[in-house]
Chains A and B, each alone.
Chain A
């Protein structure tokens, strides 16, 4: 995707939103959401390539596959929480956006629990020899 196309899309969307904002604020807000979704789906096709690269590197380095899966899931959760929080913040609901972000952080922590447990077990084994 050409960078100029992305910038053009963003500028056109902002002009249309400005046009609609006075008469129909709700439809203008939906227009903002659609623009965000389009830009993100452009992102996604690139991120797919990057994740394939990470998996390839992990395979070459002999890293355990479950750890890589957890890392990629953490990136995904952070991404989704960010999308939700920014859209809600655009609607002017700061408190709900903050809760969405906090929930995202907690879910990431939950995903990290098994890895943390294996780390602790490794350390304990190391000292008990």
Chain B
């Protein structure tokens, strides 16, 4: 079985880009836009994480005979 590790690098990349944006916007004096950039980056990553959590729970259900 081969697992797809690229999602780890994707999340790390999003994190680094968001951190960069945050710093740049803060330097420009746009504090509120910096907050929004952080929030949006967090939401994008959260979508990935929620999808993989749902996948794992489905797998656990099928393995441990929880019908559903």
Residue in B closest to A50 when the chains form the complex, CB atoms: B63
| B11 partner, pick from A31, A51, A76, beta carbons under 8 A | A31
Interface SS, B side:
helix
A51 to B8, CA, bound (A): 30
Asked if A26 meets B42 with Cβ closer than 8 Å, knowing A34-B11, A41-B3, the reply is yes
Q: A28-B15, A30-B46, A40-B56 are in contact. List 5 more A-B contacts (CB 8 A).
A: A27-B41, A35-B8, A37-B49, A37-B53, A38-B52
A16 within 8 A of B: yes
Asked if A38 meets B5 with Cβ closer than 8 Å, knowing A28-B15, A48-B63, the reply is yes
A33 to B52, CA, bound (A): 10
State whether B65 touches A27 (Cβ < 8 A). Answer: no
Shortest C-beta distance, A56 to chain B (Å), equals 15
B25 within 8 A of A: no
Q: What 8 A-B pairs come out closest when comparing CB atoms?
A: A76-B64, A23-B19, A27-B15, A16-B12, A20-B15, A24-B15, A30-B45, A37-B56
| A76 partner, pick from B41, B55, B56, B66, beta carbons under 8 A | B66
| A33 partner, pick from B1, B49, B60, beta carbons under 8 A | B49
A20 to B23, CA, bound (A): 14
A45 to B8, CA, bound (A): 20
State whether A20 touches B52 (Cβ < 8 A). Answer: no
| B52 partner, pick from A34, A42, A51, beta carbons under 8 A | A34
A63 within 8 A of B: no
State whether A73 touches B64 (Cβ < 8 A). Answer: yes
From 42 to 79 in chain A, residues with beta carbon under 8 angstroms from any chain B beta carbon are 42, 44-45, 47-48, 51, 69, 72-73, 75-76, 79
